[in-house]
């Protein structure tokens, strides 16, 4: 049994892949997440590896039931993403994907704050390149905003960690009581940013739609769900997370419905679906934590599949704008089928994996007598099916297009990955115990009840009817919806003027003055008399013949200095 941290297996590819021929690198890439998955599945819960350094004990590998379920899906989706990216030959994207997914596994299986922070920041570096790799002006700017936001979140996290270690004397991960300390609040803020909690979420819909076709699949899986894992580990039962989670679910579906870019729609739905998980963590019961873990597992599968489907459209047609699409059903039948499996999954339709996970969180809210929260979570499901399950596929595949599109063939790897992920969405929807047995706590919940079936079918049916009645008024338009990032984008010129331009001006002025002072000192040191004469006769330059001191002056000064030194020595 190889009890090796999965992150090291993933990062072994960083050393090996650059030396392989580009034609076999994509095939070699998938071996690393596959080996990591095998290690996770064969390493027993309770395994722990430590490293002692500078009087601290770093826990670099710790397997718990919670970390195991997240680790399985992280390694699995990295494997699927590798298959989907089989046509990509660029070493940079492959290396970045390994850094990113390996960092997620590093966070998942670490047991101390310092190790968590290191992997946390490495995730930001790897994921940023997947945005920049598209090499457009929009992706360059979005990637920079993404990086700055995550560096800000990392700074909050680090500040909280430093305060926590100073106050407790330990670097080991520990859960916090609600509102426990300043350290806890700072760590929560840093993690909440990665979870795209409102109003710290705007980086997500800004950056994910601008990433590469394959990069967005990886992005959809790791950053927010790694944050969900850390929230579940450190902050279970914090009431504020229930409120924040509900706000996320409703806010996300609202802006998803308004979005025009098909990948932006999905990005907003990441926020919405993560809201269910954050709400489950806020409820904090064993059933709610199980629901959070199960829904994270399901969400990674169907959200990756959604991005695979929309990515295939972008790859084949060349645009992801909803108002420019339409009429693709007959030419992209398999992509449509795979997309609809994912759409029904995220909508919680029976026999798909969203049906067996989302309902656990809703049930946990009901069992905790949080009936308003339960009602609002159910309401968010309506918006999910409306935008992802109906509007997006209708206007992408069935609506009459404004112009005929040239459809480029889709690589086989992309089709294989979509087919395999579709199978898993259906498999877990039919056999939920395959997932339930991996959850942190024992499960006695069953999703296959008549009330649950009826409730879901009513939501789906009434939502579809409502859309069909008003669909003529919902035709996509070439527009954008302003989000909270408007505030810091508008403030950017003033902030740059004050904190960049102003500070640069101060430094430039100080630099000019300092160099001028240094030059004057240098002139004085080279020839003091010259400098003095220049000040005495500013109307003309120094002339050594006119301004030379008589010999008697030099002799007098020499004798005077000698006498003074002699007196001081004898004294």
Q: CA 508, 513, 517, 519 torsion: positive or negative?
A: positive
pLDDT at 548: 64
The whole-angstrom separation of Cα 194 and Cα 228 is 9
Look up residue 61 and give its DSSP letter. Answer: E
Q: Where are the domains of the chain?
A: 1-235, 239-478, 484-526, 540-571
pTM: 0.86
Long-range contacts (CB closer than 8 Å, 24 or more residues apart) made by 55-58: 56/112, 56/114, 56/171, 57/112, 57/171, 57/172, 58/112, 58/114, 58/115, 58/171
Q: Write down the mean pLDDT value for the chain.
A: 89
pLDDT at 403: 77
Q: What is the pLDDT of residues 457-496, one digit of tens each?
A: 998 998 899 888 887 777 778 887 778 877 877 777 787 7
Question: Both tokens of residue 352?
Answer: 């798909």
Q: What is the pLDDT of residues 389-429, one digit of tens each?
A: 999 999 999 988 877 888 899 999 999 999 999 999 999 99
- Residue 239 pLDDT greater than 60, yes or no: yes
- Residue 540 pLDDT greater than 60, yes or no: no
Question: Both tokens of residue 565?
Answer: 């030194």
pLDDT at 502: 80
Helices vs. strands in the chain: H and E counts, helices first: 25, 2
CA 558 to chain centre: 75
- Residue 536 pLDDT greater than 60, yes or no: no
Backbone phi, psi, residue 550, to 5°:
-65, 155
- Which of 152-166, 178-192, 500-514 comes out lowest in average pLDDT? 500-514
The whole-angstrom separation of Cα 427 and Cα 5 is 29
Q: Which of 459, 451, 453 is nearest to 351 (CA)?
A: 453
Question: Both tokens of residue 274?
Answer: 């993560």
- Residue 31 pLDDT greater than 90, yes or no: yes
Name which residue leads in pLDDT, 472 or 157: 157
pLDDT band (50, 70, 90) for residue 549: low
Instruction: Using a pLDDT cut of 90, give the percent of the chain over it.
Output: 66
Calculate mean pLDDT across residues 336-343.
96
pLDDT at 528: 63
| Cβ–Cβ < 8 Å for 276, 295 | yes
Q: What is the pLDDT of residues 44-79, one digit of tens each?
A: 998 989 888 877 888 999 999 999 999 999 999 999
- Which of 262-271, 351-360, 384-393, 557-566 comes out lowest in average pLDDT? 557-566
Tokens 């084949």 appear where?
316
The whole-angstrom separation of Cα 560 and Cα 278 is 85
């Amino acid at each position: 049994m190889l009890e090796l941290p999965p992150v090291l297996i993933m990062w072994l590819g960083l050393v090996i892949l650059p030396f392989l021929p580009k034609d076999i690198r994509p095939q070699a890439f998938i071996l690393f997440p596959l080996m990591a998955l095998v290690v996770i599945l064969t390493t027993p819960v309770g395994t722990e590896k430590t490293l002692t350094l500078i009087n601290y004990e770093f826990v670099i590998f710790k397997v718990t039931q919670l970390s195991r379920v997240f680790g399985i899906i992280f390694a699995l989706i990295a494997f699927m993403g590798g298959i989907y990216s089989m046509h990509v030959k660029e070493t940079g994207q492959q290396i970045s994907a390994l850094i990113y997914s390996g960092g997620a596994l590093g966070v998942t299986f670490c047991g101390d704050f310092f190790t968590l922070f290191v992997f946390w920041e490495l995730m930001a570096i790897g994921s940023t390149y997947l945005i920049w790799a598209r090499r457009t002006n929009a992706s360059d700017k979005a990637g920079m905003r993404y990086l700055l936001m995550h560096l800000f979140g990392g700074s909050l996290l680090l500040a909280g960690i430093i305060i926590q270690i100073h106050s407790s004397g330990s670097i080991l991960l520990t859960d916090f009581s609600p509102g426990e300390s300043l350290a806890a609040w700072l760590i929560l803020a840093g993690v909440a940013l990665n979870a795209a909690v409102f109003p710290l979420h705007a980086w997500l819909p800004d950056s994910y739609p601008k990433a590469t076709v394959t990069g967005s699949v990886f992005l959809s899986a790791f950053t927010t769900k790694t944050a969900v894992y850390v929230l579940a580990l450190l902050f279970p039962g914090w009431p504020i997370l229930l409120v924040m989670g509900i706000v996320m679910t409703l806010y996300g579906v609202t802006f998803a419905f308004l979005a025009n870019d098909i990948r932006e729609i999905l990005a907003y739905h990441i926020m919405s679906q993560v809201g269910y998980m954050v709400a489950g963590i806020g409820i904090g019961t064993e059933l709610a934590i199980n629901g959070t873990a199960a829904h994270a597992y399901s969400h990674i599968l169907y959200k990756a599949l959604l991005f695979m489907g929309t990515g295939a459209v972008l790859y084949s047609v060349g645009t992801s704008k909803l108002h420019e699409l339409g009429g693709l059903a007959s030419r992209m039948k398999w992509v449509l089928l795979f997309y609809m499996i994912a759409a029904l999954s995220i909508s919680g339709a029976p026999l798909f994996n969203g049906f067996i996970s989302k309902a656990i969180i809703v049930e946990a809210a009901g069992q905790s007598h949080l009936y308003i929260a339960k009602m609002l979570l159910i309401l968010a499901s309506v918006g999910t099916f409306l935008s992802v399950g109906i509007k997006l596929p209708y206007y992408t595949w069935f609506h009459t297009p404004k112009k005929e599109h040239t459809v480029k063939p889709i690589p086989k790897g992309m089709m294989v990955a979509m087919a395999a992920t579709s199978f898993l969405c259906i498999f877990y929807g039919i056999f939920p115990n395959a997932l339930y047995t991996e959850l942190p706590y024992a499960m006695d919940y069953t999703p296959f009840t008549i009330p649950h079936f009826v409730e879901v079918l009513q939501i789906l049916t009434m939502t579809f009817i409502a859309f069909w009645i008003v669909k003529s008024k919902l035709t996509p338009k070439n527009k954008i919806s302003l989000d909270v990032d408007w505030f810091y984008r508008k403030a950017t010129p003033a902030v740059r003027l004050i904190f960049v331009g102003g500070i640069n001006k101060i430094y430039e002025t100080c630099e000019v003055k300092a160099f001028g002072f240094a030059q004057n000192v240098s002139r004085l040191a080279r020839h003091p008399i010259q400098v003095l004469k220049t000040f005495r006769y500013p109307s003309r330059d120094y002339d050594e013949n006119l301004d030379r001191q008589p010999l008697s002056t030099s002799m007098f000064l020499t004798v005077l200095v000698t006498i003074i030194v002699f007196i001081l020595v004898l004294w």
